[in-house]
Structure 1
């Protein structure tokens, strides 16, 4: 039977997976989430910690026998028993299927939707609306699957239920108000069943479902940013000053709740990174407001995978991208407008996503070809001669 220590910070939903699995399997698990055993942002940056866990991320597990693991799914799997993992190859594969489903279909939209309401992330209307649609699709899949099932795999709680329920914890607590979750009764019934199991309740306590969808609070976000950017003050003086500071720290620890910005360890780490240089610092201020232009245009967002990952570029770029051709024989082509005279993507490491998969050509704004292309791409109608005959004869997927 596994026995060891789980390093994390308080209320880390990723760590909950391992803790709940241990409750079911009987694994002996100590949780180090508070000083002096573990202080997030300090302990996980020490050479001793990094020697065992090179990424410095939590949750991290160290067995009493010295065996070390990072990544929450691996830790939860290790602390589970065969009943949770799946006793046969087929059942084990089904469990893994839903664990992967949580990572790919639930966590991305949940983070984009929930984090702004917690003050962790700046609000972006387009990203939030897209996250809601993505969440609806995931909920619809779950609702259909649970139409005739109590649990995701088999007749008992498995690691699939633990993982998916934990990934949806903050969604149900923050944003899934009654009207939004009404079309998915099977999912809510399953979620409530899970979180009310004794093994879940021991770790999570009482889970109250959201009554009103939380919204972005600009003031709260500003306060969070100030906390992240303000360095701690240094006390001057001798022993008396040290004692005074120690008392202050103790009072702070007693009164301070778990900080919202630590709801996800990745975001806490990213928040500590130095600010990147403005790629357009060398250019004069422009009178052309890209956001205003995009709001007035009636072109809906497309190819959202690339676009969402380029969110930091949205104030200085605009694109209309189309998919030409037929199934299994298609081509992507588009028109981009950037600030400045250079291709924007190489200007910042944050923007170097997917762009190398495409060929780029600078257009002459005074040429007839450019005028024709702009008209065609903004209206989504035309000959699109530059695309080529093979794809030109096919359908334009809008």
Structure 2
């Protein structure tokens, strides 16, 4: 059985628990629509209130009857040790940023967003103060991310999950209506926007947010196009002759929209009209190696004792290949954090390749004396980048060498790169930082 999370659709507070569950592998059933759960009715029932006295959502109920309310407590409970912080210091830092999101981001964000939703009356002075406070608080985040990719340590933590979710409604509601936040992010907060918020939307376990933002961007573009069209001078159309008017009316009736079409908004219509992209791997035979299963092991289990043996036990030598990559222009690598962002940027642009590839890419050396190398696992026997124009932006900046999967060299390199530890004899520089493409 799976635990149940009661909420309403698009609840950003519930997203925290859902993402934490994705990372930890916890089974979680979402009850957000009728008949499973109807917000405003189900949460007022005596049964619900006996478990959750405040009647608030999200609310968690385990299959053993254990109940929790308050989104941060639920997300913490559903997290694994890596998300919570693997050391006392990291755990305290995670708690610091979770508290920061609740006490510093949410209050001014609410004061800015609530009037746009009709929840509270608009007050110009209060809104302007809220905007300045949001800008000040996010500047603190931006400065912290100036030399970091993650808020705590070198991997995603509950700190990142919480902060990203607390920023979501600012992106969705404020930017959709006034674009003030987009303007605010253009230059002074680029670290936060480019290397934090956008980066996490590209992560597989944050996919629920990516879908939400994708729909938002469609709506923004369509809204702008509509407003632009409305501003254009209208051309006078010549009056139609009476002859054939009945025929025209008949054609109109024939073209009358079906009920489903009438309910479509501009965004849905645009999405429906988008041609479905051809699967770049459609020409390859089905493989017995399930990439998602391996990634789940890698994310949630010990690398050397569980994930690595699982990889070799299930690896399909005919259906997949393993490659070594090395950045062609090491002389251009200066500051380490900039080099890490170079890797992250490549991973972001390869988002649609995730289900058919895995990579561990490492920055070796120090500032102004470093190199980037990695191990990549692709579906098929050739480089996957050539299968789609969208994947070819970065790969020519690297040299690629296909490895013999049965060789000791390949087994050693896979072990070292997957575990981020070892001698790395082929590099000749000290280990610095690693990035995982999942």
TM-score, normalising length from structure 2? 0.47
- Contact residue 95 and residue 159 of structure 2 kept, 8 A: yes
- Distance (Å, rounded) in 2 between the aligned partners of 1:160 and 1:72: 13
- Distance (Å, rounded) in 1 between the aligned partners of 2:166 and 2:71: 11
Write out per-residue CA displacement over residues 293-313 of structure 1, whole angstroms, 9 at most, x where no aligned residue. Answer: xxxxxxxxxxxxxxxxxxxxx
1:181 partnered with 2:175: no
RMSD: 2.5
Name the count of aligned residue pairs.
Answer: 218
> 1:205 maps to what in 2?
211
1:14 partnered with 2:22: no
- 1:335-354 equivalent positions in 2, closer than 5 A: none
> 1:87 maps to what in 2?
86
- Distance (Å, rounded) in 1 between the aligned partners of 2:209 and 2:172: 16
Relative to structure 1, is the Cα distance of residues 7 and 46 closer, same or farther in structure 2, using a 3 angstrom cutoff? same
| Structure 1 residue matching 2:54: 3-state secondary structure | coil
| Structure 2 residue matching 1:205: 3-state secondary structure | helix
- Distance (Å, rounded) in 2 between the aligned partners of 1:6 and 1:90: 30
TM-score, normalising length from structure 1? 0.52
> 2:170 maps to what in 1?
171
Deviation at 1:3?
Answer: 4.3
| Structure 1 residue matching 2:68: 3-state secondary structure | strand
Relative to structure 1, is the Cα distance of residues 204 and 68 closer, same or farther in structure 2, using a 3 angstrom cutoff? farther
Relative to structure 1, is the Cα distance of residues 55 and 101 closer, same or farther in structure 2, using a 3 angstrom cutoff? same
- Distance (Å, rounded) in 2 between the aligned partners of 1:148 and 1:203: 25
> 1:195 maps to what in 2?
201
- Contact residue 62 and residue 69 of structure 1 kept, 8 A: yes
- Distance (Å, rounded) in 2 between the aligned partners of 1:20 and 1:204: 12
- Distance (Å, rounded) in 2 between the aligned partners of 1:188 and 1:85: 24
- Distance (Å, rounded) in 2 between the aligned partners of 1:22 and 1:28: 7
Relative to structure 1, is the Cα distance of residues 255 and 57 closer, same or farther in structure 2, using a 3 angstrom cutoff? farther
- Contact residue 15 and residue 59 of structure 1 kept, 8 A: yes
Relative to structure 1, is the Cα distance of residues 166 and 197 closer, same or farther in structure 2, using a 3 angstrom cutoff? same
Deviation at 1:181?
Answer: 1.1
| Structure 2 residue matching 1:200: 3-state secondary structure | helix
> 1:27 maps to what in 2?
26
- Contact residue 85 and residue 157 of structure 2 kept, 8 A: yes
- Contact residue 4 and residue 28 of structure 2 kept, 8 A: yes
Deviation at 1:118?
Answer: 2.3
- Contact residue 16 and residue 204 of structure 1 kept, 8 A: no
- Distance (Å, rounded) in 2 between the aligned partners of 1:181 and 1:43: 40
Unaligned runs of 5+ in 1: 215-250, 258-398
- Distance (Å, rounded) in 2 between the aligned partners of 1:106 and 1:204: 21
Deviation at 1:114?
Answer: 1.1
- Distance (Å, rounded) in 1 between the aligned partners of 2:122 and 2:109: 13
> 1:53 maps to what in 2?
52
> 1:105 maps to what in 2?
104
Write out per-residue CA displacement over residues 345-367 of structure 1, whole angstroms, 9 at most, x where no aligned residue. Answer: xxxxxxxxxxxxxxxxxxxxxxx
Deviation at 1:206?
Answer: 4.7
- Distance (Å, rounded) in 2 between the aligned partners of 1:178 and 1:72: 27
- 1:313-324 equivalent positions in 2, closer than 5 A: none
- Distance (Å, rounded) in 1 between the aligned partners of 2:163 and 2:38: 27
Deviation at 1:155?
Answer: 1.0
Deviation at 1:186?
Answer: 0.5
> 1:122 maps to what in 2?
121
Deviation at 1:196?
Answer: 1.5
> 1:273 maps to what in 2?
none
